[in-house]
């Protein structure tokens, strides 16, 4: 398991290194940890295809803060796993849409880090969910976490996945597909577009912006309902991360 830690406070970084070295002796998997002191340096490394299984980011970094850094990396690695270090809870709402697996309040100690890795390892070994869509003659199966959006196209819908393969065409109307989706994960943005809510980067009054840099207008008559469902989703996700 390879971990990226980004912390620019020397005292906090020294403490993290000490506690993570101790914890590494307990973990059931071999770990390699790289330390960064700026979000820019970490983002550049990821851009060079340096792979990490877990990112542990201080929120109050100089320059690119931890949330900006996580969002930049998320655009390159949609499935990244991130946890935040912070001395206050102020940024919690800002970080909802990043689906962090944990938030650790400083000062950090080994018990807080144990809880972080317990959550991370549990997440890594969770059973994978699949989305099944049935037409009259065929069953289509997709890893749920990879589904980004489902869009109306000529005589059917296109299902877009995060692994950049060409979209999968299904000869069904969007309405028939919508009836088969997990309602807690998917959101209809407009008449011809349904998205997995983890694919959303942010949402303003009129526009929904996605992690790949694209965006879509929200249906005029559904703006309030769309924003409410997305906010409910973010809130439910936040309950899975407990402040320590």
Distances in Å between the alpha carbon of 145 and those of 8, 29, 133, 196, 206? Answer: 32, 24, 15, 9, 26
* pLDDT tens per residue, range 28-67: 888 999 999 999 999 999 999 899 999 999 999 999 999 9
Other CB atoms within 10 Å distance of the CB of residue 59: 21
| Residue matched to tokens 């970080």 | 95
* pLDDT tens per residue, range 159-215: 999 876 789 999 999 999 999 999 999 999 999 999 999 888 888 889 999 988 899
7 and 117 in a single domain? The answer is: yes
Note whether residue 243 is domain-resident.
no
Q: What is the CATH number of the domain that holds 228?
A: 2.40.50.1020
* Residue span of the structural domain in which 183 resides: 130-238
163 and 230 in a single domain? The answer is: yes
């Amino acid at each position: 398991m390879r971990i990226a830690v980004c912390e620019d406070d020397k005292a906090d970084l020294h403490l993290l290194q000490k506690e993570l070295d101790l914890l590494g002796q307990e973990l059931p998997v071999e770990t390699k940890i790289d330390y960064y002191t700026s979000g820019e340096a970490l983002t550049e490394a990821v851009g060079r295809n340096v792979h990490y299984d877990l990112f542990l980011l201080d929120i109050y970094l100089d320059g690119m803060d931890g949330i900006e850094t996580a969002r930049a990396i998320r655009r390159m690695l949609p499935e990244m796993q991130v946890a935040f270090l912070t001395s206050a809870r102020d940024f919690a709402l800002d970080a909802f849409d990043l689906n962090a697996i944990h938030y650790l309040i400083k000062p950090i100690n080994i018990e807080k880090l144990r809880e972080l890795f317990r959550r991370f390892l549990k997440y890594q070994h969770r059973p994978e969910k699949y989305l099944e869509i049935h037409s009259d003659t065929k069953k289509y199966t997709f890893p749920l976490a990879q589904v980004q959006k489902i869009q109306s196209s000529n005589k059917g819908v296109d299902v877009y996945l995060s692994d950049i393969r060409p979209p999968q065409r299904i000869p069904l109307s969007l309405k028939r597909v919508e009836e088969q989706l997990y309602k807690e994960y998917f959101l209809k943005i407009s008449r011809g577009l349904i998205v997995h809510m983890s694919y959303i980067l942010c949402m303003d009054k009129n526009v929904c912006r996605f992690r790949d840099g694209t965006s879509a207008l929200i249906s005029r008559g559904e703006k309030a309902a769309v924003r409410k469902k997305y906010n409910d989703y973010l809130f439910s996700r936040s309950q899975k991360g407990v402040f320590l």
